[in-house]
Structure 1
Amino acid sequence: MYITSGTALYHYTRSGTPVKKLYEASGVQYCAVNRSGDKIFVTNSRSELLTLSRDGTILSIFTDRQLQSPTAIHVTEQGQVLVCGKNTIMQVDSEGKKKITALAIPNVNNPLSMCSFGKCVIVGSSNILVLKIE
């Protein structure tokens, strides 16, 4: 398990035992792990998406003017990296280096959670938005 604290990213065992602090910086917010577990995607308060290796080494830092105040992040079963920002969902390549597409979501302000189920992505804030993906 990986848990963010606002200032760091921590690795824990499934039973809740701390393993180690992987990354430390102010504004660490949300994280998601790819299916193989070799990449950890982290958002921060500087509107960046960081891609870290399993040991916490920074592999890439992604920024884009459309990605403002990134919050929820999710890696789908198909390996799609999705990041929610203020009124936007962005798909980033599996390396976390470039934008694939962005979708405006004007009725969902500051989404806090995201998950996928089959061919749907569910985004939650004060509203719930269900998107069909291909």
Structure 2
Amino acid sequence: MIIPAVTVIVTLTLVRCKCEMKFSSVYKCAVSPTGDKLYITNHWQHKLVTLARDGTPLECLVDRQFGQLDGIHVTPAGQVLVCADWAHLIIQVDSDGKKTLMTEKRGWSPESACYHSETTSIIVGQWNNNNILVLKVQ
């Protein structure tokens, strides 16, 4: 399979904001459906940083109870799903930056998540095992 060339429209440089980015600032990233926001997880500092298209910091969500933040996915509705495998949960952040605990189940370690709109389900890849979970959204 040949992947088409990608055109870089804007090169972003992380800007120091009220929540300073340090060691390994970008772990995973995702773009909003409209392309106006870039979401970045910082694994070691337990942060979710939101940048404008031009790189301007918009928001920084830090919550140590979630532990290290891993995979990130943006749904077509603009909700951000963030995996926190050590805390055994997926965090849902809406477009206003409000966080809600979406799923918690001991014994699993979500590393990546993707919302599938046709089946209204979240597909979850886990750390440290070969199981993929499909969670039906109600």
Report the TM-score when normalising by structure 2: 0.75
- Compute the displacement of 1:63 (Å): 1.3
**Contact 2:10/2:54 (CA < 8 Å) preserved in 1?**
no
1:37-48 to 2 correspondences below 5 Å: 37-44=35-42, 45-48=44-47
Aligned to 2:80: 81
Q: Select 2:5's aligned residue among 2, 15, 32.
A: 15
Q: Select 1:130's aligned residue among 107, 128, 134.
A: 134
**Structure 1 pair 18–34 and aligned structure 2 pair: CA distance change class (3 A):** closer
Gaps of 5+ in 1: 1-13
**Contact 2:41/2:47 (CA < 8 Å) preserved in 1?**
yes
1:1-134 to 2 correspondences below 5 Å: 15-18=5-8, 21-24=11-14, 25=21, 26-27=23-24, 28-44=26-42, 45-86=44-85, 87-95=88-96, 97-109=97-109, 111=111, 113-118=112-117, 119-125=120-126, 126=129, 127-134=131-138
Distance in 1 (alpha carbons) for counterparts of 2:81 and 2:27: 15
Greater strand percent: which structure? Answer: 1
Distance in 2 (alpha carbons) for counterparts of 1:91 and 1:38: 19
Report the TM-score when normalising by structure 1: 0.77
Aligned to 1:10: none
Aligned length in residues? 119
- Compute the displacement of 1:98 (Å): 2.5
Gaps of 5+ in 2: 15-20
- Compute the displacement of 1:42 (Å): 0.4
What amino acid maps onto 2:77 in structure 1? Answer: Q
**Contact 1:38/1:54 (CA < 8 Å) preserved in 2?**
yes
Aligned to 2:17: none
